Amino acid sequence: MPSNHGVDAMAALIASLLGLLGRLMSMAQERRNPFGKSLLWELPAAIGLGFVGQGIGEYLGVKGFALMSCSVVAGFMGPRVLSWSVAQALKIDIRK
């Protein structure tokens, strides 16, 4: 029985790298140095945001380049905007 673990690992790696690309684009727009102390926080955030973007894309049913773009957009928007967006969609007050 063939296994798809290689494909899943590759998708996870690609999502992580695309999330990192999105965070780098965000830092460039804000004119922040990507190689400062914040890099320790940005790397795990970028990887997580890449996975979140992949999940959003799969949930929406997009494929190919659009699916990869979801990871870049999630990385670019960052955790605050994604948290706010989910709260708005679910009608949750996050200011408590």
Q: In the chain, what are the domain boundaries?
A: 5-90
Tracing tokens 């400062």 back to the chain, one arrives at 36
Which residue reads 């063939």 in tokens? 2
Distance CA 66, CA 25 (A): 18
pLDDT digits 0-9 by tens, 39-87 = 778 889 999 999 999 999 999 999 999 999 999 999 999 988 988 888 8
CB atoms within 10 A of CB 29: 9
| The pLDDT value given to residue 2 | 54
pTM of the full predicted structure? 0.78
- Decide which of 82 and 6 is more confident: 82
